[in-house]
Structure 1
Amino acid sequence: MLSVTSVKNNSSSPRFTLKTSGIALWSPLLLVIKMPLYCVYFSLSVSIRHSQSSFRLLFCRHVGQRCLWTRLSPSLSMRHVVPMGTAAKEEMAQFCDKNTQSNRPMSPHITIYKWSLPMLMSIAHRGTGVAMSAGVSLFGLAALILPEQFPYYLAFVKSLSLGPALIYSAKFALAFPLTYHTWNGIRHLMWDMGKGFKIPQIYQSGVLVLVLTLLSSAGLAAM
C-alpha cells in the first residue's frame, strides 16, 4: 500500500514522504538502482582480470626472451662472472708448469694404474654384459631376417663335420659370458648387502667366482 503524507517543517513549503507496506515499493527501486552498479562492477572486474593476464603473459614472454638471449649470447652470460684473482691464476700456472716439466699426465688413466684382480674382473663383468646383449640382439635379428628355421641351420652346422674339440671350444665360449656374469652378479649382490668389502675378502670372492665360472662353463659345454 502506498500513501502520501505531508510534514510541516520550519520552512514554509511542506515536505512530502512516501510510506510503503513491506518491500512492495523498495524492491523494484533497489533493483533498478543496483543493476547499473552491478554492470559497472562486473565490467571493471573483467577488464582488471584481462589486464592482469595480459601483464603476466607479457612478463613471461619478456623473461623467456631474456633467458634465451642470455643462453645464445656468450658475452651476456659471461658478463656476471667474477674474474679470477691474480693469485689463483699464478697458482694454476705454476701447477701446469710443474706437471709439464715432470711429464705427468693431467688426469689419471688406465695406463698408470697397476693391474689387479678386482680391476680385471670389473672390466670383464661389463664386457660380458655387452657381449651377451649384442649376442641376443644379433640372434633375434637373424631369426627375423633369415628365411629358414633354427633346426635347418643347426643341421647345417652338424653337416660340416667339425671336430669335437672345436665344437666344445665354441660351446665353452658361448657359456663363459653367461656363467661369469651370473656368478659375479651374485658377488655384487653380496656387496650391496654390505658384505665382503675387506681387501682379502674381495680377492677371495674373486677367485671363487673364477673357479665357479670355469666349472659351470665346462659343464655346459659338455652337454
Structure 2
Amino acid sequence: MALLLRSLARRSVCLSRPQCSVLCRSAAPMGTTAKDEMNKFWDKNAKLNRPMSPHISIYKWSVPMVMSITHRGTGVGLSGAISAFALAALVLPGSYPHYLDLIHSLSVGPYLIGLTKFGIAFPVSFHTYNGIRHLFWDVGKGFKIPEVYGTGYTVIALSIITAIAVASL
C-alpha cells in the first residue's frame, strides 16, 4: 500500500484528485525512512513528557487480571503437557502399563500421589470452568463488574472443589 501511494505521489496523480489528496497529506514525506519516522515519534513523545507503554508492574492486581493470566497459562501448560505426553508415547520403548508399573514401584506416599493428582486436576478444571465463563461472555452475558468478580470467584471455588474431589479418588 505504501509503495502504491509513493508511486501515485511521484506521478502527481494523487494531487490532481481531491478525494486522494487527504491520503497524500497524511503519508510520510518522501525521502524519509522508517527509522527516521520512529526517531521523530520518540523525540516528540520525550518532548511532551509522555510515558512509555505501561508495564504490568504498575497495575494493581485484580481478580479478572489474575483469571486472564491463569487461563492463558493453564492453556499453554495443558497443550504442552498433552504434546509432551503424546511425543513420549511415540518415542519411548515399552507400553503404557510398563510405565504405570514403574511409577507404582517407586512407592511414593499417598500424600505425594494426591498432590500430583491435584496438580493435574486443578489446571484442567480451572481451564474448563473459565472457558465456560468465556463462552457466556461470547454470548454477551456477565460483563458488569460485580458479575465479572462473582463468576471469577465461582470459577476458582469450583476448580478447587473439583480438583480436591478428583485427587481423593
Distance 2:131 2:94 in 1: 36
1:114 maps to amino acid: K
State TM-score, norm by structure 2. Answer: 0.74
Deviations 1:68-126, CA, capped at 9 Å, x for gaps: xx8xxxxxxxxx84379xxxxx9975641343xxxx74112211111101000000000
> By how many angstroms is 1:127 displaced?
0.4
- Runs of 4 or more, structure 1, over 2 Å off, are 80-84, 90-95
Match for 2:111 among 162, 165, 169? 165
Aligned equivalent of 1:128: 74
2:154 is the counterpart of 1:208: yes
Distance 1:162 1:123 in 2: 33
Aligned equivalent of 2:46: 96
Distance 1:149 1:92 in 2: 60
Deviations 1:164-206, CA, capped at 9 Å, x for gaps: 1111001110111110000000000111111110001100000
**Structure 2: gaps spanning 5 or more residues:** 8-26, 33-39
2:47 maps to amino acid: D
**Which gives a bigger RCO, structure 1 or 2 (Cα 8 Å, sep 6+)?**
2
Match for 1:181 among 127, 142, 145? 127
Aligned equivalent of 1:155: 101
State TM-score, norm by structure 1. Answer: 0.57
Aligned equivalent of 1:38: none
**Secondary structure in 2 aligned to 1:208?**
helix
Aligned equivalent of 2:137: 191
**Structure 1: gaps spanning 5 or more residues:** 1-65, 71-79, 85-89
1:220 maps to amino acid: V
**Secondary structure in 1 aligned to 2:151?**
helix
Distance 1:91 1:132 in 2: 41
2:146 maps to amino acid: P
**Secondary structure in 1 aligned to 2:118?**
helix
- Counterpart mapping for 1:107-126 below 5 A: 107-126=53-72
